[in-house]
Amino acid sequence: MIHPPPASRKILYLVTEDWYFASHRLPIARAARDAGWRVIVATRVREHGDILAAEGFDVIPLPWRRSNTSMLSLALDILALTRIYRREKPDLVHHVSLKPVLVGAAAARLAGVKRVVNAITGFGFALGGSGAGHETARSRLMRVLPLLTKRRNSILLLQNSDDLSFALSQGLAEPGQTDMIRGSGVDTVRYQPLLEPDGPGLTLGYAGRMLKQKGVEDLVAAFRIARRDRPDLRLLLAGRPDPENPASLTTGTLSEWDSEDGITWMGHIEDVRILWRRADIACLPSRGGEGVPKSLLEAGACGRPVIATDVPGCREVVAPDTSGVLVPPNDPEALARAILALAENAERRRQFAVAIRDRVENHFAEPAIVEKTLALYDRLAEQE
C-alpha cells in the first residue's frame, strides 16, 4: 500500500528533452502528482512545455544541449543545477538517462538533496562504439559514475537485467542501492491489437529515431537482400534524425532511401498506430545500448510480430521463437533470413502476434510500471 505523501513534498525530474518526458515519463509524473507530490520538471523546452504546464507541473527550462559534453560544459551545467536544487529544495530528484544522472547526481551532492533516483535508460552511445575515443570515454565514465551514484538514500535504477548485472559488476552501486523497473511501460488500452494489413505483399516497419546505433542501416541492407527473393516486400521507416546525436543519419541519406523502390521514409508521425496499421512485421535491429525499447512495446501491444537483435533491452521484450525472433546485431544477412522466414509463414506471424501482445500486457503495461515507480518513491521518502 502506497501512502500519499504530504502535498508540500516535492519531486524534481531532470530530463534532457521535453518531448522525451512527454513521451516516456508523463504517466509516472501524473501518478506522482495525484499521490500528492508537487512535480517539477527541469528540461530543455522546445515543443512540449505547454503540455507539461497544463498538467500542473512546474517547468524549469534548461539551456543545455546534449551534444555539449566537454568538461567545461558539464561543470557549468552542474553549477546551474546546483543553484536550481538549492532554490527548489526538492525532497526527491529523479534523473533520467546518462547525462542527467552525471550532472544531476553531482548537483544533488553539492546542494544537499537527500533522496535521489538515478535512472539509466540504457548505456547507449557512451558504452557503444569502438576506437580510442570511445575507450577513453568509457574509462572516464566508469571512474566517475560510482563517485556520484554510490551514496546513502540513492537508488540506481536500471531497465533490464543485463544492465543491472553490468552496473553491479562495474561497482556503480551496492546491491541494496539498485532496482530494476522494465522501462516506462505502454498504454495497452490505447494500443490495441490491430487487424493484419490488407492488400498484396508484405510490409516491414521501423519506428524510432534515425540513428546508426538503432541499426537502421542494417535494416535497409537486409531489406535489399530479402527483396531479391520477395520483390513484393516493402519497408516503412517512421522517425526523424537526431542531429545532436553523433550516431544520427542525415536527411540526405534518408531521402535517398525514400526514393528507392519499396522504401518509404515517413518522417515523424504523431500516432505510431498509423505505422502499425500498414506494417505486418516490426523490426528493431539495434546495435545495443537499449533500456527497454518503447517502440517494441507499442508494436507488440498492437499485435505486430517482432524481429529484433539479441542485445540488452530487446531480449527483455522478445522471447525467442515464442513472441518474436532475435538475430545477431550488425548482421544484415541474418536479419534478411529472419525476414524471409517470417514473411513466408503467416501462421507463425499470427502466433507471434498473440504471444507478444500477452507478454506486453503481463510484463510492461503502464499501470504496473507506474505502481512500481511510486513504490520506489515511497520507499525512499520513508528513509531519513
Helix (H, G, I), strand (E, B) or coil at 281: strand
Comparing CA positions, the residue from 274, 258, 206 lying closest to residue 237 is 206
Percent of the chain with pLDDT over 70: 93
pTM above the 0.85 mark?
yes
pLDDT at 8: 67
Hey, what's the torsion of the CAs at 49, 53, 55, 57, to 10 degrees? 110
Burial of 196 from C-beta contacts in 10 A (0-12 / 13-18 / 19+): middle
Percent of the chain with pLDDT over 90: 79
Residue boundaries of the structural domains of the chain: 10-185+365-381, 202-363
CA atoms of 357 and 376, how far apart (whole Å): 27
Cell matching residue 152: 546513502
pLDDT at 129: 54
Burial of 63 from C-beta contacts in 10 A (0-12 / 13-18 / 19+): exposed
pLDDT at 130: 53
Whether pLDDT at 216 is above 80 = yes
Task: Output the CA torsion sign for 313, 42, 112, 137.
Answer: positive
Q: Do domains 10-185+365-381 and 202-363 have the same CATH topology?
A: yes
Q: What is the pLDDT of residues 4-42, one digit of tens each?
A: 445 569 999 999 999 999 999 999 999 999 999 999 999
CA atoms of 310 and 343, how far apart (whole Å): 20
Q: Which CATH number fits domain 202-363: 3.40.50.1370, 3.40.50.2000, 1.10.3720.10, 3.30.70.100?
A: 3.40.50.2000
CA atoms of 170 and 174, how far apart (whole Å): 10
CA atoms of 79 and 110, how far apart (whole Å): 9
Q: What residues have CB less than 8 Å from 85, skipping those under 6 apart?
A: 12, 93, 107, 108, 110, 111, 113
Comparing CA positions, the residue from 264, 341, 266, 258 lying closest to residue 305 is 341
Q: In what side-by-side order are the strands of the sheet with 324-327?
A: 263-267, 233-238, 202-207, 281-284, 306-309, 324-327
Cell matching residue 39: 512535480
**Structural contact between residues 332 and 223, judged by C-beta atoms closer than 8 angstroms:** no
Whether pLDDT at 224 is above 90 = yes
2: confidence class by pLDDT, cuts 50, 70, 90? very low
**Structural contact between residues 308 and 331, judged by C-beta atoms closer than 8 angstroms:** no
pLDDT at 38: 97
Q: Which CATH class is domain 10-185+365-381?
A: alpha beta
